[in-house]
Amino acid sequence: MKLTVLGCSGGIGSGRHTTCYLIDDDILVDAGTGITRLSLDQLANIDHIFLTHSHLDHVLGLPLLLDAVGDRRGMPVSVHALPETLDILSDHLFNWRLWPDFREIPDVSNPWVKFSPLPLGSTVDLGGRAFTTLPAHHVVPACGYRITGESGSLVFTGDTTSSDALMHALNDMSDLHDLIIETSFENELRDIAVASQHHWPDSLAHELKRLKSQPGIWITHLKPGNEDAIVAELKQRIPDRDIQPLVQDQIIEW
């Protein structure tokens, strides 16, 4: 399997794009501004989108994708997410006020998108590529994903702060190849991280002390302009692990 990083920043500006990962060439995990880096043909090839939560930096590309290529496809795009996340999208995005409801376009029997609720702990298998929801701890209902192929698993936590349930799930995995986990603020902005339920270097250091395996660890969702400071603090506080910032256009294969 192959993951291509289309966007991994905690914000925008100067070449930065928010969270969006392309799996092989037909699946997206989250749909932030990174989605705009795909061509029309690439967008039309997306059959499944797995959302971690409902915040704009992770979903704002979804309505634009449907508007751009819905008529080019012969089947609806399947959007997989927690039931609570899909409820938020129904109430606040695809509501005919902020954006048309593409579950009814061109009509309800032939829509351009369908919602597929994926409760916590559920798995979707797409041709031997398994996507399993994992617990996360954020200010809205949120999940991470374990993405498993023949050669093992990659985990993307989505937006989260400390989570006992997530750490238990990670420690139960015998095939964890890579871990993409967020750290949004440096320690000086701890109060903001706590209020918004994101990681900061000290909190991630506490989590990783509990991680039994030795996957590749990639840091995502860094605050724009603060990337170097956050990474420096992470390396200082977690010297026993090889921690690297995720970068745009990076490819991870497993």
Could you write out the DSSP letters of every residue in 79-124? Answer: EEE-HHHHHHHHHHTBSSSSB--TTSSEETTEESEEEEE--TT-EE
* Strands lying side by side in the sheet with 20-23: 113-117, 77-81, 48-50, 27-29, 20-23, 2-7, 251-253
**Beta-strand pair 176-182/20-23:** unpaired
What are the φ and ψ backbone dihedral angles of 231, each rounded to 5 degrees? -65, -40
Q: Is 249 a catalytic residue?
A: no
**Catalytic annotation, pick one of 30, 57, 159, 178:** 57
Distance CA 206, CA 217 (A): 15
Q: Is 245 helix (H, G, I), strand (E, B) or coil?
A: strand
Other CB atoms within 10 Å distance of the CB of residue 139: 13
Catalytic machinery residues: 57
